[in-house]
A = this chain, B = another copy of it.
Amino acid sequence: MGSVPEQRFLPHIAYDSVIFGFSGEQLKILIMEYHNTGMFALPGGFVRVDEPLNDAVRRGLRERTGLDNIYLEQFYTFGSLERYQPEVMETILQANGFAVDDFRWMLDRFISVAYYALINYNKVNAQPDALSDSIKWYPLNDLPPLILDHADIVAKAHRTLQENLERKLVGMNLLPSRFTMKELQKVYEAILGTPLRRTTFQRKMLSLGILKRHEKRYSGKAHKAPYLYSFEGE
């Protein structure tokens, strides 16, 4: 059982992160479970008084995933009153043996800036924080019940990711640096939730001019070996 480091944070301001990974042809996100409460939440955190907002989020992601230089996008700031449920945080603090009085500021109303991140599933070494005993991948369509408005945050993150997919071409951030066209297509299909035509997809991706073709990958299977591609600049 760790202890919350004594830092000075901006009151009333939090961030939450929807961390997307791709594995087994499914889109997954990282969810934390709090000690002895059966409560699940998005990984989030607070902003130090002398720290830029974006740095705070990157710091949190580094602590949770061990990764730096992550593809990260701020997508909405949640400030409704429904998200103000002090009893939730109180339960969590008590379950961890903290004196609630010492963390009174955590029971205040928070406005949360939400980000989504796209990361390479295999590179992650997920680390829980002081208040939680696990951080695990869950398929997007099979999440545990989440606290506060975190289900809304996930839904909006997914919608925004879908909208940004063609415009910002972010699919490759979920894959290792070298990938086949089929793997890339599976990512797109997982994000959009619909099957795509193989040949059309291949041509569209190639026509963008942002993929570099490399050697073939021989799988040992009895069929033509697919080319490996990388995103320009890797």
Contact = CB atoms under 8 A, between A and B. Distances in A.
Contact of A54 (B54, B79, B113): B79
Contacts of A81: 50-52
Given A13-B111, A49-B109, A77 B77 contact: yes
A80 B53 contact: yes
Given A12-B12, A109-B49, A77 B74 contact: yes
Contacts of A47: 79, 111
Contacts of A49: 109
A218 interface: no
B74 A52 contact: no
A56 to B, nearest CB: 8
Q: How many copies does the complex hold?
A: 2
A111 B79 contact: no
A51 B79 CA distance: 9
A201 to B, nearest CB: 22
Contacts of A54: 79-80
Given A10-B12, A13-B12, A52 B80 contact: yes
A163 interface: yes
Contacts of A74: 76-77
Contacts of A167: 163
A111 B53 contact: yes
A45 interface: no
A128 interface: no
A111 to B, nearest CB: 6
A139 interface: no
Interface in A50-66: 50-54
A152 to B, nearest CB: 13
A171 interface: no
A11 interface: yes
Given A54-B80, A111-B113, 4 more contacts: A11-B11, A13-B111, A49-B109, A79-B113
Interface of A: 10-13, 47, 49-54, 74, 76-81, 109, 111, 113, 163, 167
Per CB-CB distance, the 7 closest pairs between chain A and chain B, nearest first, are A53-B79, A77-B77, A77-B113, A52-B80, A10-B12, A52-B81, A13-B111
